[in-house]
Amino acid sequence: MSTTSQAAFVDRHEADVSERDAARVWGTSARPLPDWFQQKRSRGGGLVGAWVPIVLVGLPLAVILAIVIYPTVWMFYHAFHDTNMMSLFSGNWQPVGFANFGYVLTSDRFQDSVSNLAFYLTFGATLQVLLGTALALIIYELVRPRWLQTLVLILLVLPMMMPPSIAGTLWKFLLQANNGAINHLLINLGLMGADQRIEWFSVDLSLVSLVIADTWQWTALPLLIVYSGRVSLPPAIYEAARVDGASTWQVLTRLTLPMLREIIAIAFILRFMDAYKFVDKVYVMTSGGPAQSSELPVYIAFQKGIREFQIGEAAAYAIIIFVFAAVLITLFLQYLKRVMRHQGVTS
């Protein structure tokens, strides 16, 4: 057989193999491939044009550049300048170095807002995670019919579906001193006299009112996270514990909570990060008052940038908040990693 004949035989053999492979994949008898596929293969090109990967990668990168990277660089730039409304439009802002950061860190307003943030993280975000964990375990362990579990979860998740501004408006009316439903409920339950009123939006209780409204709306998030984690735990471990005679309390403290530790930590981190975006309810319910008693750092940044148009100070606030949050979350993750290493979960 000549060389030309051998080459033709090899080509026919490869074509037969390709058709048999296609038939095995599609589960049909061997049939010739479409003409467009043959033409693409004969030209050595791909099934899609060379521009398709460029578009698929380039468009997301362009969006990220436009709405994330550029605004971040712009913010860092103006944090070191005395940019305000007049200088921004005239373009004659002047560099001031770290003056904006020094003003923010030394202002009494910022220091009071940090104290308010610590209060919210302690009695707001932490309470939501603890309450959500407790509700998730109660629903899973005590509510036996699956349809009833689903119904209870839907009812508890409904507040989370509400826009935060609407939730804030709702609780603003509920907590009114004279006509609010909460005070009337307390009077009807006999917990206070008919002529007594709780001033929920006073200097002492304004931040507590925000915590109540936010806990009502966002406890469902850690609840869903912990409930999903509890559903995924292997039943065999609990069957072995019951065979060994473990009590309900021992199963909870020695099996369930240790195995859910990482999931609970993730829920806490999510609520912790949301605390740095807590603007809407503050704006709707208290506007940071009275006497700035319910201001948080991010709300001051909002006021400086959007209401007062002090761009340089607002950018300094945003950068300080970002650094502060990044440091705290990093420390928390390091602690969690150390705990997991101690338990032998990670190396």
Contact residues for 62 (Cβ-Cβ < 8 A; gap 6+)? none
**What band does 144 get if pLDDT is binned at 50, 70 and 90?**
confident
- Read off the pLDDT of residues 146-189 as tens digits, 9 standing for 90 and up: 888 889 999 999 998 888 889 999 999 999 888 888 888 888 88
Find how far residue 312's CA is from the centre of its chain: 27
DSSP 46: -
Res 15 pLDDT > 90: no
Q: So where are the chain's domains?
A: 3-43, 51-99, 100-164+206-342
Place of tokens 């005070």: 183
Please tell me the pTM assigned to this model. 0.75
Q: Is the pLDDT of residue 48 over 80?
A: no
Name the DSSP letter for residue 306: I
Mind listing the pLDDT tens digit for each residue in 61-76?
A: 999 888 888 888 988 8
Angle between helices 126-142 and 261-274 (to 10 degrees): 140
Residues 6+ apart with CB under 8 A from 221: 128, 132, 160, 267, 270, 271
Dist. CA 100–CA 64, nearest whole Å: 28
- The candidate with the shortest Cα–Cα distance to 153, out of 174, 167, 169, 132, is 132
At the top level of CATH, the class of 100-164+206-342 is: mainly alpha
Three-state DSSP string of 57-115:
HHHHHHHHHHHHHHHHHHHHHHCCECCCHHHHHHCCCCECCCHHHHHHHHCHHHHHHHH
* Amino acid 308: pLDDT: 82
Rounded-to-integer distance, Cα 313 and Cα 101, Å: 8
